[in-house]
Structure 1
Amino acid sequence: MSGTVTPTLSAQQIADYREDGYVILRNLLSAKEADELRRVVQKQVKRDAYPSTLKYPESAKYTVSGNRLADPGLTAIAEHPTVVGAVESALGQPAHLTAYVAYLRTPGDKGGGAHCDYKRWRPVGSSMNWVFAIIPLTDFDTEYGPFLVSPKSHKLTQVIDSDAHILDLTRPDPEQLPDFIDPELKAGDLLVVNEHVWHEAPPGTTTEDRCGIFNKYCAIDAPPAAGYYPYNPAALDALSDNGKRLIPVCFDKPITTTRLLIEDASSQESKFLLRRDAETNAWELPGSEGWEEEKGVGWDVGARIGSLQDITQTQLGLEVPWMSYIEDVEEGDGICRIYGFSDENLDIDALANNGCEWFTKSELKQRLGESDAICGAADTWQQTDVIRGKGKACRQSRHQFE
């Protein structure tokens, strides 16, 4: 799945990124360009922004995100060649745009405390290899509010077993955080930050808005475990022909259903669980109509892990502690988001009840046909060149490393 990367960063800058967890490119945008983009963001925030419960200029943090990249004046920064080149240099892979986010913080907002943004329950934060591309549109200083980083803090999180099919991570210990520093970001700079770097954004003192672009990109071989944000055709069409490659998924239909590929990994040849539909008598993956969780989602929509956990508990009596995104396929009048789960200790006999049976991959292809979506999902799930992590539900957010 690897592809060609045209580097923007030098070998030394890449080494610095790997050591410190971030790298800065000064003056990506001129003062005029940064000011023009700031005015565009302000205009779009005044028109419509998240959260919809607040109205500019109430003291708050507002976002213009996702498919809003198609709004006039907002598209170009997502595919800026220097940004994309720097991001792909840091990732070591071609990139997908997992989140388009323009932030605006009005005077009086309290800022943000120390945290890192690897979050297994969010489409934007659950890839095993992603970065921020932060472009201040005002200075990030004591007046507007700085953006502080903890150099080398990304090293507090380590992969437990690099040979595992689904990677797991150690829990970072905040008590071991290196001291935060102020990289003194100016309007128009570019800061590329590793997903595991801790950062904070103290409030400022100005009576003006603090603005910035906080886009996020993942490596194409490391899809978000929670699933990609669903872009629409307008967002895709807004990008140039070359920039369209940054969009990982694009639908003109809603995500209506969600299903789980359950793998029994207890023997050398994996088996997968199917259940027979009571009405059509057709074999299908466990699952049904899915939904967004009510809390903790905000603008970062698309994950169906919480609903799929509930569905598998109801249909199979199985508690699924994690799952990882595989792909999206058309199903009926909408899109079906498919996840995978693998375990060596499943009670396979208990699960093979009530119309459920286990099939090897060759048996799946023989029974369903090689072109069937279930067979395709099994093939994709077992690709060795895809780096997968564990996705969680929003309700598991406080215990994401358990």
Structure 2
Amino acid sequence: MRDGGDRALAFVDDVSAKTKDTAVELTSADITQYEEDGYLVVRDALDAAELNRFDKAFRTHLEELHPSELKYPNPGRYTLAKSCMADPDLAFVVEHPNIVEPASCLLQEDPILTAFVIYDRTPGGPGIPAHNDYKRWRPVGSSMNWLFTIVPLCDFDEARGQLFVAPGSHRLERVQPGPGRAQEVAEAVRPDDEAFIDPELCRGDLLILNMHCWHRAAPNHSADHRVGFFNKYAGISCPPATGYYLFNDDAFNALSTAGRRYIAVHSDRPISRARMLLQRGDRYLFTEGEDGLYLPGGPTWRESAIPDWDIGNYIASVHGHMRDQVRVETPWASYVGDYYEDGDLCRVYGYELNDNGFPVAYEGEWLDLDNVQERATQGYEPEAIATWNRPDLTRGKGVTQAQARIDQYAY
């Protein structure tokens, strides 16, 4: 669980301490290039000793590569993720000043790690078509302010497979304030094929890539493994709309005391319940349970419409319980926090109703904050309401995997 509290796991409040002076300081020209092009390359961000340390550690985890149905090292694209950073010889890059300081500068706020991922495209492994990685259904893609920090462990050249980027394709004018709590994002605009360029990434370089910037990868035509780490950091004020990927305690403890500030939530306990904080004006909907009043929700289940490694989106679970308990389904939901409930964790989402719904009475009882404090069963509900109403947080729209298979921008 997070240091500093025994109930809420939602947000780090102070990450102002620094590990050490950074060896990389971005210039105003660097910042302007990132803002205009959606990417920036920092050459030689990691030195040979650091790269060798990471290389050696990665090779001890080959049995953990995903997807397990492929037989490594047959041609393919393999992923080492989840809480593999429990290995300190991998985790050190999470808090490396040449990575987190530029990330903080470009996010314009303190960074929070949302994904620790190593990709191994084996000889003959296929490329990846053009895409951007703002994904409302994924814990690692649904923040409203995040970026990639990509470090190749070999040259990403024509033989091993270049990583192409499309300068200016992030099109931030598509992101606008919404009428409610969450920001609006217009449909992405796919750049022309000729818009992609090769930034000529070499071993140890750092590519910082905006979440909306389009990119693609070429196949590996060489006899070498094409390996790199592709970590993601979100701004501290912009939690993922689906909720964070929950790192385990070993992953958290692999970082230095100062470096642990880059992890927002961690626990060895499962997220076994999900609930919805449904707001109308200054009141919140509660349903009657065996022991009293609860937020609508219940046990979680894992949606597999778009399977991937970053478990944590339980919007489908909470939608199912809401249909059964209060006979509504919200078009989207936004993460509030993770709280202890009956020995495990409960992931709470929020949604604020407008006046456009058909006026049929809701199952349940609408409570103001005073009544919530007096009558709610679990005890964390007032804290969840306070977090939901924080004006300093920027929220996005989280959707289910099934919704995203049709059109994630439709909501």
Return the match for 2:74 from 45, 58, 61: 58
89-98 or 2-11, which moves further after superposition? Answer: 2-11
> Structure 2: which 5+ residue stretches go unaligned?
1-12
Per the normalisation by structure 2, the TM-score is: 0.90
Which residue of structure 1 lines up, in the alignment, with residue 238 of structure 2? Answer: 222
Which residue of structure 2 lines up, in the alignment, with residue 360 of structure 1? Answer: 368
CA distance in 1, matches of 2:314, 2:109: 27
Identity %, equivalent residues: 38
Q: What is the DSSP-based 3-state SS (H/G/I as helix, E as strand, rest coil) of the residue aligned with 2:305?
A: coil
The runs of at least 4 aligned residues of structure 1 exceeding 6 Å deviation read none
Which residue of structure 1 lines up, in the alignment, with residue 288 of structure 2? Answer: 276
Q: CA deviation at 1:361?
A: 2.6
Q: CA deviation at 1:164?
A: 4.2
Return the match for 2:314 from 288, 299, 304: 304
Which residue of structure 2 lines up, in the alignment, with residue 11 of structure 1? Answer: 28
Return the match for 2:98 from 70, 82, 105: 82
CA distance in 2, matches of 1:83, 1:328: 28
CA distance in 2, matches of 1:286, 1:97: 30
CA distance in 2, matches of 1:276, 1:33: 56
Which residue of structure 1 lines up, in the alignment, with residue 353 of structure 2? Answer: 343
CA 1:125–1:381 in 2, change beyond 3 Å: closer, same or farther?
A: same
For the pair 1:104 / 2:112, whether they are aligned, the reply is no
CA distance in 2, matches of 1:176, 1:5: 43
Return the match for 1:24 from 30, 41, 45: 41
Q: CA deviation at 1:39?
A: 3.8
> Is the Cα–Cα contact under 8 Å of residues 38 and 213 in structure 2 kept in the other structure?
yes
CA distance in 2, matches of 1:42, 1:143: 22
CA 1:116–1:327 in 2, change beyond 3 Å: closer, same or farther?
A: same
CA distance in 2, matches of 1:159, 1:108: 38
Q: What is the DSSP-based 3-state SS (H/G/I as helix, E as strand, rest coil) of the residue aligned with 1:55?
A: coil
CA 1:184–1:335 in 2, change beyond 3 Å: closer, same or farther?
A: same
CA distance in 2, matches of 1:10, 1:36: 29
> Is the Cα–Cα contact under 8 Å of residues 41 and 104 in structure 1 kept in the other structure?
no
CA 1:351–1:146 in 2, change beyond 3 Å: closer, same or farther?
A: farther
Which residue of structure 2 lines up, in the alignment, with residue 326 of structure 1? Answer: 336
Which residue of structure 2 lines up, in the alignment, with residue 252 of structure 1? Answer: 268
Q: Partner amino acid for 1:64?
A: L
Per the normalisation by structure 1, the TM-score is: 0.92
> Is the Cα–Cα contact under 8 Å of residues 105 and 210 in structure 1 kept in the other structure?
yes
Return the match for 1:290 from 300, 320, 324: 300
> Is the Cα–Cα contact under 8 Å of residues 297 and 321 in structure 2 kept in the other structure?
yes
CA distance in 1, matches of 2:14, 2:266: 21
CA 1:143–1:176 in 2, change beyond 3 Å: closer, same or farther?
A: closer
Q: Partner amino acid for 1:209?
A: H
> Is the Cα–Cα contact under 8 Å of residues 156 and 172 in structure 1 kept in the other structure?
no
For the pair 1:383 / 2:403, whether they are aligned, the reply is no
Q: Deviations over 1:197-235 (max 9, x none)?
A: 000001131011000010000011000001000111101
100-109 or 371-380, which moves further after superposition? Answer: 371-380
71-80 or 336-345, which moves further after superposition? Answer: 71-80
| Alignment root-mean-square deviation, CA | 2.1
Q: CA deviation at 1:72?
A: 5.0
For the pair 1:41 / 2:58, whether they are aligned, the reply is yes
Q: Partner amino acid for 1:288?
A: G
CA distance in 2, matches of 1:149, 1:362: 52
> Structure 1: which 5+ residue stretches go unaligned?
none
Q: What is the DSSP-based 3-state SS (H/G/I as helix, E as strand, rest coil) of the residue aligned with 1:227?
A: coil
Corresponding residue pairs, total: 392
Q: Deviations over 1:97-152 (max 9, x none)?
A: 00000111101111100000000000000000000000000101101100000111
CA distance in 2, matches of 1:175, 1:91: 24
Which residue of structure 2 lines up, in the alignment, with residue 210 of structure 1? Answer: 226
